[in-house]
Amino acid sequence: MDLHKNIPLPMHFDFAGKTRIFSLVVSVIMIAYSLYYITTQITSHSAMYRKILPFIILFLALETLLKNLLSIKRITLTAKTLEFSYLVQKKIIIAWETLLSIEKYHGRGRYFLIKYQKNGETQKFFLPMLYKDIISILNFIKLLAPHIATDEFISSLIIDLDG
């Protein structure tokens, strides 16, 4: 049954665009103000909390900035590939034929582990579980690449359309 021929491709899944932009703007403002405060307002006579607090804010703002710059911006499903786009990282493109398996990652964090072949070697890609359309994405991946192996957890999330 060729159900994938009825899927409108390419299909895009964008993640938190407005929230990401807001977080980036706020974190840049917090970084700039923390640096300004550290360089102009802190003296040797400043209270200890006034010396420590700007560094804590700076650390949290840098963490937020890096997390938003380095996390997945868009997943694109095309007729031939699965693509993961980022704001500042290189796009990862995986051909459907090279996909080997998808399973729940049992390490630290909540991820799906996608294994695929590239240049004769098995590569790993960690897909975060925390996206709003993740079940739809998994179902489309399985529909477009029916040959991939799945573990019991992934199999419980995927709708079997072949019966």
CATH number assigned to the domain comprising residue 118: 2.30.29
Specify whether the CB–CB gap between 85 and 65 falls below 8 A: no
Q: What is the mean pLDDT of the chain?
A: 90
Same domain, yes or no: 112 and 137:
yes
Mean pLDDT of 134-145: 90
Average pLDDT over residues 30-43: 94
89 SS3 class: coil
Same domain, 84 and 139: yes
As a whole number, mean pLDDT of residues 114-128 equals 94
Percent of the chain at pLDDT > 90 equals: 64
Per-residue pLDDT tens for 79-104?
A: 899 999 999 999 999 999 999 999 99
Residue numbers of the domain that contains 91: 3-14+80-157
Q: What is the pLDDT of residue 101?
A: 95
Q: How far is CA 22 from CA 10, 18, 70, 95, in A?
A: 28, 6, 16, 33
Residue 162 lies in a domain: no
pLDDT at 15: 82
Give the mean pLDDT of 11-18: 86
Angle of the 48-70 helix axis to the 17-40 helix axis, nearest 10:
150
In a domain, 99, yes or no: yes
Residues 61 and 86 in one domain: no
Q: Are residues 53 and 107 in the same domain?
A: no
Query: What are the two backbone dihedrals, phi and then psi, of residue 77, each rounded to the nearest 5 degrees?
Result: -105, 120
Considering the domain architecture, whether residues 41 and 7 belong to the same structural domain is answered as no
The tally of domains found in the chain comes to: 2
At 9 the pLDDT is: 82
| Tens of pLDDT, residues 44-74 | 898 999 999 999 999 999 999 999 999 999 9
Residue 109 — pLDDT band, cuts 50, 70, 90? confident
Q: How far apart are the first and last CA of the chain?
A: 10
Residue 16 or residue 91, greater confidence: 91
* Confidence (pTM): 0.81
- For residue 1, what pLDDT is reported? 45
Put the strands of the sheet holding 99-104 in their side by side order: 121-128, 111-118, 99-104, 149-150
Please give the C-alpha separations between residue 21 and each of 13, 71, 154, in angstroms, as whole numbers: 17, 13, 32
Q: Is the pLDDT of residue 149 over 90?
A: yes
pLDDT at 30 (0 to 100): 97
User: Are 128 and 146 part of one and the same domain?
Assistant: yes
**Per the domain annotation, does 75 fall within a domain?**
no
Q: Are residues 65 and 85 in the same domain?
A: no
